[in-house]
Structure 1
Amino acid sequence: MIRVLIADDQALLVGALSALLELEDDITVVATCDRGDDVADAVRLHDVDVALLDIEMPGRTGLQLAGDLADSPCKVVIVTTFGRPGYLRTALEAGASGFMVKDAPPEQLADAVRKAHAGLRVVDPTVAEESLFTPPSPLTSREVEVAREALSGAEIKEIASILHLSPGTVRNHLSSIMAKTNTTNRYAAARLAEEKGWL
């Protein structure tokens, strides 16, 4: 049996995915989480083979968790509403084995679990095709951190404190992010970066 964990902060979706996967003879859902910061412990506790993770969750995102679990035997498949090429690239670079959108047919999800468990990569074909024609994120890893904090509405001094940077360095990063996104303020820049899947 392939032991699966589902992490998503939408309880209805978790229930639906669990019910669908439990119909398969070779798959069992052994754990669910509604917060990203509960996933790593649950993976260890339940000896999970494949974790199906949403991108946006409280605590830690699915993209962060793909990196956290990269060295574990557990395979990660991102299952998201946001089929953006930037998210696909970030997920695969972090070590995810798969990337599926939530409106995929149910049999594709079970197939993705089996393929990930077998050590194969599985990617939604529409997102994969789109990513071939979309340039990679121009943001540095530090700019991504700054943009995430700016997206939350944090002021420059607050961002500086959180990231252990000087306010001047934060301003420089924000200026660079605005130039790269062709926007006029930090919130618009961060929002556009999020929409493109760069965060």
Structure 2
Amino acid sequence: MIKVYIAEDQKMLNSALTSLLQLEESLEVVGTALDGEEALKGILEYQPDVAILDIEMPKMTGLDVAEAIHSTDTKVIILTTFARQSYFETAVKHQVQGYLLKDSPTDKLTETIYAVMNGETIYDPALVRHVLRKEKNPLTEREIEVLQCLSEGIPTQAIAEKVFLSQGTVRNYISSILSKTGARSRIEAVNVARKHQWMNE
């Protein structure tokens, strides 16, 4: 019997996942959690074979929990809505055994549980393609810093004071940002950068 622990902050999805996995005769859901801290406590208590973790949960993220249990025997499958490169890279860094998107077919989750128990590492192909398609960030660190200020609605003079540059230099950075993003306005530049995950958010 494979012991499974589920951490998902959406109650309906948490219940649905539990019901789905309980249909498998060789799987037993030994506990569930609605936030990261509860998940970490439950995993350490029940010592499941596999922990299914959402990323964005209250108190602790699924990636934080994965890092905290890295030295245990529990295998980790990340189940998330977000195909963010930074999340995926962090998950790989923590050596999670599985990374699936929530729009994957339902039987994919059970297949992944059996696969990771057999020593395999399973990453959603669509996610990997998405990450590989990510455009290289054309913005410099200073341009990203200025863009972050723009996203917060900070005016040019205040940006100059905050980043210790002259207003003219800040305007030059803004012109460069608009050029690199192909945007016609500051707001559009922010939206483009967010879409491609070029900002440190």
TM-score scaled to structure 2, two decimals? 0.68
Contact kept, 8 Å, 1:7 with 1:54, in 2: the verdict is: yes
SS of match in other structure, 1:31: strand
**What does 1:94-105 correspond to in 2, within 5 Å?**
94-105=94-105
Q: Distance in 2 between matches of 1:34 and 1:91?
A: 20
Identify the residue that residue 109 of structure 2 maps to in structure 1: 109
| Gap change, CA 1:193 and 1:107, over 3 Å in 2 | same
Measure how far apart 1:139 and its partner are: 11
**What does 1:47-196 correspond to in 2, within 5 Å?**
47-134=47-134, 192=194
Aligned residues: 166
Which structure has more relative contact order (CA 8 Å, sep 6+)? It is: 1
Contact kept, 8 Å, 2:11 with 2:34, in 1: the verdict is: yes
Structure 1: segments with no counterpart, 5+ residues: 141-146, 154-170
What is the letter of the counterpart of residue 51 of structure 1? A
Measure how far apart 1:192 and its partner are: 2.9
What is the letter of the counterpart of residue 69 of structure 1? I
Q: Distance in 2 between matches of 1:48 and 1:108?
A: 20
Q: Distance in 1 between matches of 2:126 and 2:12?
A: 25
Contact kept, 8 Å, 2:83 with 2:131, in 1: the verdict is: no
Measure how far apart 1:36 and its partner are: 0.3
Measure how far apart 1:29 and its partner are: 0.7
SS of match in other structure, 1:103: coil
Identify the residue that residue 8 of structure 1 maps to in structure 2: 8
Q: Distance in 1 between matches of 2:35 and 2:104?
A: 23
TM-score scaled to structure 1, two decimals? 0.69
What is the letter of the counterpart of residue 106 of structure 1? T
* Superimposed CA distance per residue, residues 76-108 of structure 1 (whole angstroms, 9 cap, x where no aligned partner): 111011123332222111221111011111110
Contact kept, 8 Å, 1:92 with 1:98, in 2: the verdict is: no
SS of match in other structure, 1:48: coil
Identify the residue that residue 19 of structure 1 maps to in structure 2: 19
Measure how far apart 1:197 and its partner are: 9.8
What is the letter of the counterpart of residue 117 of structure 2? H
* Superimposed CA distance per residue, residues 32-82 of structure 1 (whole angstroms, 9 cap, x where no aligned partner): 000101122211211211111111100100111121111111111110111
Q: Distance in 2 between matches of 1:64 and 1:31?
A: 19
**What does 1:31-46 correspond to in 2, within 5 Å?**
31-46=31-46
| Gap change, CA 1:19 and 1:198, over 3 Å in 2 | farther
CA-based RMSD of the aligned residues comes to 3.5
Q: Distance in 2 between matches of 1:196 and 1:24?
A: 42
Q: Distance in 2 between matches of 1:133 and 1:53?
A: 25
Structure 2: segments with no counterpart, 5+ residues: 142-147, 153-161, 164-169
Q: Distance in 2 between matches of 1:139 and 1:59?
A: 32
